[in-house]
Amino acid sequence: MPSQLYHAAIRVVFVVVLISGVASNPVCAQDPTDKVEPGAEEPAEQSEVEVNEARNAAISVFNEGVAALDEEDLPGALEKFRQASEIDPDFPDAARATAAVAMELEDFQTAAEAAENLVRLQPDNPDAVGTAYFAELLLGDVDRLIPSARRLAEVNPIVVSNEMLQHAQVLFDEDELAGSRSLLEVILERQPELAPAYFQLGLTCNMQSDAECAKQALAKFLELAPDDPDAETARSLLEYLE
């Protein structure tokens, strides 16, 4: 697991907020460090009986996780938050807490599953979308990563030209060429004039022995950025390929 990717992930998810215990609204329980009052955040789609049976049971277990978190028992907190989510899969605070603590513990499979559940509940929540993307990135699950990358680019376009491009470079450096190429293709879907992405795509395609892809990408890079510091490298490789 590339350490550069892990450190990038931690910067954008809500782990720091969770662990530091930043104050939040105790009624809505937007942060897992707050205990939740029974009956809070009742989904409109569920009957009152269903909410009372599932949500209140989940809240009780959730608050045990909060107590474990207060004692800095992260594994214990994770287990309680997971249990709360199993009791009530529609409880967003439990999904959020599970994802955050799992990321802190580098349990990326659990983090990805919890974040995907939170995305189901809150599809426009950029933290949830970002956590799912980073967990899947760190898992190396390209099939799940690419849909998550598209979703993240939709809710947070600024990550496309900086974080995602860096991740494609790290994947390339780690010889994860399929993942790097797929991520670059997502980037270029969103920003078709982003010259550095074409340069990286050209290098990646060349390493995959896809000469046609490499030539097209390098030619586009030179068209967009003929004076770029990497232009000479691109020209040399293009001449070699032709």
Is 133 found in the same domain as 60?
yes
Q: Are 119 and 39 part of one and the same domain?
A: yes
The answer to whether the predicted template modeling score (pTM) of the entire model surpasses 0.85 is no
Total domains in the chain come to 2
Q: Does residue 18 lie within any of the structural domains? A: yes
Domain end residue (candidates: 139, 157, 182)? 139
**Whether residue 26 has pLDDT greater than 80:** no
Which residues have a Cβ under 8 Å from the Cβ of 21 and sit 6 or more positions away? 33
Give the model confidence (pLDDT) of 59-97 as tens digits: 999 999 988 988 889 999 999 999 999 999 999 999 999
Say which CATH number the domain at 87 has.
1.25.40.10
Residue 78: CB atoms within 10 Å: 25
Residue 90, pLDDT score? 92
Cα angle: 24, vertex 27, 32; to 5 degrees: 50
Considering the domain architecture, whether residues 51 and 160 belong to the same structural domain is answered as no
Residues 6+ apart with CB under 8 A from 40: 27, 28, 29, 55, 59
Q: Is the pLDDT of residue 206 over 60?
A: yes
Q: In terms of residue numbers, what domain contains 227?
A: 149-242
Does 144 map to a domain?
no
Summarised one tens digit per residue, pLDDT across range 28-48 is: 333 444 455 555 554 455 556
Same structural domain, 46 and 132: yes
